[in-house]
């Protein structure tokens, strides 16, 4: 099974992929999120893993747009507890580090640590694990990476500081993506991700949310995203948890009368191992 991930082996995307699919997978490494949808559309991979939100940094809005634009199907979710470690060549300590290279999200999640070390220059890169690999491969001194413990072990680097994330209980949610929706009836499906656009009428959003509430459907997330070709107009992306498929389908039918557009991005089994 071929799985596309953002980053390389040792990245958090690889850890999330193994958590969901197990170890027997063939990873296809991508340096950017924008490469992933095309691999799915061209049938070069079976599934993809894409980070969608972090408990510290919030939603990754461009990834919502990619899922929508390429009509990808959300087939599942993974919650991963993120531990950021500062690592460099063996024998170095914090005083030796002049620069830290890492993904901008990792840097953002470790702001407090670096606020206490203003002498260290922060450089944004495309992937946490790729930086760790480059430091080891090119024997770069004075530079450290922010990455997983897996990356430190894989590339034989020394962990200089453990758990440097600002909030220790730091979790990232990943979507499992597929080219097209699985139409088979899965009795385990109890969560859905939707996109809808409300009518330009007072209280239209409240009416939609009220329909879900009356059908015993819990709203776990709502996120707005600008509609590019309509100035100051927004689409809403929501996550719902439901126990009764009949009530859920009835609610979907009713909200179609209250919105100008609705799209089911995915119906899948809720991850109950949320951290």
Residue among 90, 18, 75, 81 at smallest CA distance from 54: 81
Residue among 239, 262, 266, 263 at smallest CA distance from 73: 266
Residue among 103, 60, 85, 49 at smallest CA distance from 168: 85
Give catalytic status of residue 172 as yes or no.
yes
Which listed residue (113, 174, 196, 236) is catalytic? 174
C-alpha neighbours within 13 Å on the C-beta side of residue 234: 11
C-alpha neighbours within 13 Å on the C-beta side of residue 71: 4
Per DSSP, the three-state class of 164 is coil
Give catalytic status of residue 47 as yes or no.
no
DSSP 171-208: EEEEEEEESS---S--TT--EEEEEEEE-SSTTHHHHH
Which listed residue (12, 113, 114, 172) is catalytic? 172
Catalytic amino acids? 172, 174
């Amino acid at each position: 099974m071929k799985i596309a991930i953002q980053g390389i082996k040792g990245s958090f995307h690889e850890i999330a992929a193994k958590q969901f699919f197990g170890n027997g997978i063939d990873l296809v490494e991508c340096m950017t999120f924008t490469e992933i949808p095309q691999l799915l559309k061209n049938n070069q991979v079976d599934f993809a893993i894409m980070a969608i939100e972090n408990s510290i940094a919030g939603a990754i809005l461009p990834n919502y747009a990619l899922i929508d634009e390429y009509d990808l199907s959300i087939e599942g979710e993974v919650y991963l507890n993120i531990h950021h470690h500062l690592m460099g060549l063996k024998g170095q300590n914090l005083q030796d580090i002049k620069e830290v290279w890492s993904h901008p999200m990792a840097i953002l999640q470790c702001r407090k640590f670096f606020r206490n070390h203003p002498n260290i220059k922060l450089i944004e890169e495309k992937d946490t694990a790729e930086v760790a690999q480059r430091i080891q491969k090119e024997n770069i001194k004075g530079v450290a990476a922010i990455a997983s413990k897996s990356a430190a072990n894989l590339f034989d680097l020394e962990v200089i500081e453990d758990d440097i994330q600002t909030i220790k209980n730091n979790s990232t949610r990943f979507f499992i993506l597929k080219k097209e929706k699985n139409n088979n009836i899965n009795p385990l499906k109890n969560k859905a991700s939707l996109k809808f656009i409300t009518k330009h009428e007072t209280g239209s959003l409240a009416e939609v949310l009220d329909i879900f509430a009356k059908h015993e459907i819990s709203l776990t997330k709502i996120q707005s995203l600008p509609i590019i070709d309509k100035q100051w107009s927004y689409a809403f992306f929501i996550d719902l948890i439901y126990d009764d498929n009949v009530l859920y389908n009835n609610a979907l039918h009713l909200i179609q009368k209250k919105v100008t557009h609705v799209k089911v991005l995915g119906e899948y089994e809720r991850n109950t191992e949320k951290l």
